[in-house]
């Protein structure tokens, strides 16, 4: 069984963690797109008092989340992303905590968000390790740049 937070020994492990961060960021962006689509189709939900203002607010915040997630995914793909990943993690935590104030998100929603959160954290860990490449295994680093 794979560990949720694997040890980063060499550059391959760091790149693997960055890839997990990229996939988690893309999954978070996809959840945002699905959420906007469902809200538009169903009419905005119960929390919206004024339809036009509520849909404008929903579209603005969701598009900001999606853009942040896509920028973080791109940075993780480039084996960077410490700042973008940290901002995405904060946005992710605010959204996840906010879902509990609106209503219980369900077991499936909690599990999906748990996997996305672990992926984002691993991406940040990989970005930190890629920044500190002098502490990684020198043989793996030499193989990477041959």
58-67, pLDDT tens digit by residue? 777 888 999 9
- Per-residue pLDDT, averaged over 48-64, amounts to 68
Cα 143 to Cα 111: distance, rounded to the nearest angstrom: 37
> Cβ neighbours of residue 66 under 8 Å, at least 6 residues apart?
29, 32, 33
In total, how many domains does the chain have?
Answer: 1
Helix or strand holding residue 89 (H, E): helix 82-102
Q: Residue 4 falls within a domain, yes or no? A: no
Q: Residue 94 falls within a domain, yes or no? A: yes
104: containing domain: 11-144
**Residue that has been written with the tokens 């996997």 in this structure:** 115
The pTM (predicted TM-score) of the whole model is: 0.81
Q: Residue 5 falls within a domain, yes or no? A: no
Q: Residue 90 falls within a domain, yes or no? A: yes
pLDDT at residue 1 in the model: 38
């Amino acid at each position: 069984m794979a560990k949720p937070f694997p040890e980063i020994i060499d550059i391959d492990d760091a790149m693997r963690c960055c890839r997990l961060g990229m996939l988690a960021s893309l999954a978070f962006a996809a959840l945002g797109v699905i959420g906007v689509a469902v809200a538009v189709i169903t009419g905005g939900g119960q929390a919206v008092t004024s339809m036009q203002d509520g849909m404008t607010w929903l579209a603005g915040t969701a598009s900001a989340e999606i853009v942040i997630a896509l920028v973080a995914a791109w940075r993780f793909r480039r084996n960077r992303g410490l700042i973008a990943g940290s901002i995405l993690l904060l946005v992710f935590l605010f959204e996840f905590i906010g879902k509990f104030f609106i209503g219980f998100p369900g077991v499936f929603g909690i599990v999906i968000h748990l996997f996305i959160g672990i992926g984002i954290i691993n991406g940040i860990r990989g970005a930190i390790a890629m920044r500190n490449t002098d502490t990684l295994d020198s043989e793996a680093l030499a193989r990477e740049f041959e």
